[in-house]
Amino acid sequence: MNSAGDVAPDAFQDALIAARLCAIDPELGGIVLRGGGELRDAVIAELRTGLPTSAPVRRLPSHIDDERLLGGIDLTATLAQGKRVTRAGLFAEADGGIIIVPMAERLSDATVGRITAVMDAGTAATERDGVAARYGARFLTVAFDDGIEPEERAPAALIERVAFWIDLTASRALSLHGGDWALDPPATEALLAIQRFYGGTPAVQAPDEIVSALATTAAALGIDSARAPLFALRAARASARLAGRTTVADEDVLLAARLVLAPRATRLPMAPAEPEADSTPPPPQDSDAGEDENGEQAPLEDLVLAAALASLPKDVLARIAAGTVRRGRPNNVRGAGARQKSGVRGRPMGARAGMPGGGQRLSLIDTLRSAAPWQKLRGTDGRIAVRRDDLRVRRFETRAEALTIFAVDASGSSALARLAEAKGAVELLLAEAYVKRAQVALIAFRGTLAEVLLPPTRSLARARRSLAELPGGGGTPLAAGLNAARELAEAARARGQTPFIVVLTDGRANIAADGGSVRAAAEADAKEAAKAIGTAGIAAAFVDISARPRPEGAALAAAMRARYLPLPRADATTMHAAVSAAQRA
């Protein structure tokens, strides 16, 4: 049924197939669609045709609050009826249908945690505001990933739980009319096939060698999660069912390998399976994982692996080549950090008078308590009369979270030894930030550009790793480094965090903002960038790590309105002490 013969299948077609498979077996979890614009609507439409017409569809916006998500007390009804009335949340409402998550790359970790818990359990547990309830909540998740940068992706914990990851950004259908890409046979016939196989028919059989072929392929591609081969097996069964088979055939397995396993690959097999066209070298990672795929392989396993390899998405290949694929991308490799909303969470601080809404939650008990003394005066008959001035909302104390941004000069002029000391100091500061539960971010600048090696995170493991991987050498694009630091700091401030920039450099800028290597322009640009930080009023410290500090460093620090810390011979410990003293000041 798929057009695997003549042309390489387009991502859009894959997405439509994935939608059909999901409709057949909702346990496949759903689909993550990266990019794709209007094509995504076609995918949703395809999915809906496969589900009963009554199947609910809900959108889950990234700013959703717990009350709406998990359900809780229905305030209006509770007050009107004088008894507790509960309301189901979005998860429960979507039971048996679809949840669409637009801008999935911007979901907060907290929301992701709630979604994944429900996906795992198939039920939504509400333990909120005096309500303890459990609702059935089985749904398909279709996440739209609108990230542009390679590291802006839908959260790993979420996509782990859906079978299909499809990148529509390069789909040929984008430039055509989606309609020209309809699947063959058309939807109605496919649906008839589904109907035929839903009721009464025995489950689709999967021979043992198919099961082991999928497990073997997953292992060979460096896919560690046990969910991946399970999804692949389900997808193969669904594909067989769609085609009207009662036993999984080779083509079903190949399809599953292509759609489920290939996008999850974290490495190319080391055994001489199918040499890739551009012979990407296997990345040097996971030394503990290399021994298992040398065993004798049945022909089917070779086929499945080859199918997966032939359809490795381009970005997966690029990431493998760059060695940046790790087992599962961490959750917070995304633009947005932790949300800080003082009306929503944090340490409760009691209640105050005010209207609920806009993120402020009603404190029911306090409201009722404030209404109680007036009941007689208001002359009510058993019903509680609550007036506007009785309303109380909850208050929470959230400490503004600190974010320390390290902008580290990794150029050739910062001699390697100095760089090592700087790394040491950053590590110590990281350790301190960890204890205080502050976030850290790391920017390195060298060659012609600055790179955010580590977006704001609290994970020490990741910080340590990206620091260890920090290479040295090349020119000093100081302006680029400072600008990157400022942008990160401003974004953090917009989220309610308190940023603090620590620049570690020798101050010898020689690459201008446009990448040119005219020294004068480079210095002027650096000064400009420093001034921008000063004007923005972002707290900063400027650590001059050159062996013989010169006036340029001090001048830059002054432009930034930063503490100037010339530390020519300081070791990591001294550097750390000086910077943390500056941060406290």
What residues between 148 and 187 interact with another protein by CB under 8 A? 156-157, 160
- Is 214 near another protein (CB under 8 A)? yes
Shortest Cβ distance from residue 459 to another protein (Å)? Answer: 6
435 binds another protein (CB under 8 A): yes
Straight-line distance from the first to the last Cα atom of the chain, in angstroms, rounded to the nearest whole number? 68
Q: Is residue 299 a contact point for another protein (CB under 8 A)?
A: no
Q: Does 76 bind another protein (CB under 8 A)?
A: no
Min. distance of Cβ 76 from another protein in angstroms?
14
Q: Which is nearer to another protein, 230 or 536 (CB)?
A: 230
Give the residue from 263, 264, 282, 284 showing the smallest Cα distance to 272.
Answer: 282
Min separation Cβ 128 and another protein, Å: 5
Q: Which of 95, 87, 114, 99 is nearest to 60 (CA)?
A: 99
Query: Using the 8-state DSSP alphabet, how is residue 362 labeled?
Result: B
- Residue 294: Cβ within 10 Å count: 11
Stretch touching another protein by CB under 8 A, among 11-19, 82-90, 99-107, 542-550:
82-90
Note whether 136 binds another protein by CB under 8 A: no
- Site membership for another protein, residue 342 (CB under 8 A): no
Q: Does 580 bind another protein (CB under 8 A)?
A: no
Q: Cβ of residue 140: shortest distance to another protein, in angstroms?
A: 16
Query: At closest approach, how far in Å is the CB of 107 from another protein?
Result: 12
Q: Which of 52, 200, 272, 295 binds another protein (CB under 8 A)?
A: 295
DSSP character string of 227-269: HHHHHHHHHHHHHHHHTT-SB--HHHHHHHIIIIIGGG--S--
* Using rule CB under 8 A, residue 119 touches another protein: no
- CA torsion through residues 31, 318, 106, 111, sign: positive
Cβ nearer to another protein, comparing 85 with 449: 85
Residues 313 and 318: their CA atoms lie apart, in Å, by: 9
Q: How far apart (Å, rounded) are the C-alpha atoms in residues 275 and 269? A: 9
3 state SS of 536: helix
Interatomic CA distance for residues 432 and 576, integer angstroms? 10
Query: 87 to 106, contacts with another protein by CB under 8 A?
Result: none
Confirm or reject binding of residue 218 to another protein (CB under 8 A): yes
Q: Is 116 in the site for another protein (CB under 8 A)?
A: yes
- Tell the smallest beta-carbon distance from residue 113 to another protein (Å): 4
Binds another protein by CB under 8 A, chosen from 1, 57, 103, 117: 117
Which whole-number Å values give the CA distances from 402 to 399, 458, 460, 489, in the listed order?
A: 9, 11, 15, 11
Q: Which is nearer to another protein, 46 or 109 (CB)?
A: 109
Instruction: List the one residue out of 367, 263, 330 whose CA is nearest residue 465.
Output: 330
Judged by CB under 8 A, does residue 132 bind another protein?
Answer: yes
Does residue 584 bind another protein (CB under 8 A)?
no
Q: Is 226 in the site for another protein (CB under 8 A)?
A: yes
The length of the chain in residues reads: 585
Are residues 167 and 313 in contact, defined by beta-carbon separation less than 8 angstroms?
A: yes
- Cα angle 230-234-240, degrees, rounded to a multiple of 5: 145
Only segment of 271-279, 291-299, 526-534, 541-549 that touches another protein (CB under 8 A): 291-299
Restricting to residues 348-387, name those near another protein by CB under 8 A.
348, 364-365, 368-369, 384
Q: Is 270 in the site for another protein (CB under 8 A)?
A: no
Is 24 within 8 Å of 187 (Cβ atoms)?
no
Of 196, 314, 352, 437, the one binding another protein by CB under 8 A: 437
Q: By CB under 8 A, tell whether 331 contacts another protein.
A: yes
Site map (CB under 8 A) of another protein, residues 462-491, x = contact: x-x---------------------------
- Interaction of residue 497 with another protein, rule CB under 8 A: no
List the one residue from 328, 354, 474, 534 that touches another protein (CB under 8 A).
328
Q: In this chain, which stretch among 130-138, 265-273, 478-486, 527-535 interacts with another protein, using CB under 8 A?
A: 130-138
Q: Is 245 in the site for another protein (CB under 8 A)?
A: no
Buried b vs exposed e over 22-48: b needs ≥16 C-beta within 10 Å?
Answer: bbbbbebbbbbbbbbeebbebbbebbb
Q: 150 or 568, CB closer to another protein?
A: 150
For 129, left (φ over 0), alpha (ψ -120 to 50), or beta?
A: left
Give min distance, CB of 27 to another protein, in A: 7
Collapsed DSSP state (helix, strand, coil) of residue 374: helix
- Helix, strand, or coil here: 165? strand
Residue type at 339?
A: R
Stretch that binds another protein, among 163-171, 206-214, 401-409, 507-515 (CB under 8 A): 206-214
The DSSP string of 22-53 is HHH-GGG-EEEEES-TTHHHHHHHHHHHHS-T
Q: Does 228 bind another protein (CB under 8 A)?
A: yes
Compare residues 40 and 395 and give the one whose CB is closer to another protein.
Answer: 395
Q: How many residues bind another protein (CB under 8 A)?
A: 78
Tokens for 177, please give them. 């009319």
Nearest residue (CB) to another protein, 163 versus 560? 163
Q: Are 234 and 17 in contact (CB under 8 A)?
A: no
For another protein, the binding residue among 7, 461, 494, 585 (CB under 8 A) is: 461
Binder among 170, 230, 249, 577 for another protein (CB under 8 A) = 230
292 is an interface residue for another protein by CB under 8 A: yes
How would you write 548-567 as a 3-class SS string?
Answer: CCCHHHHHHHHHHCCEEEEC
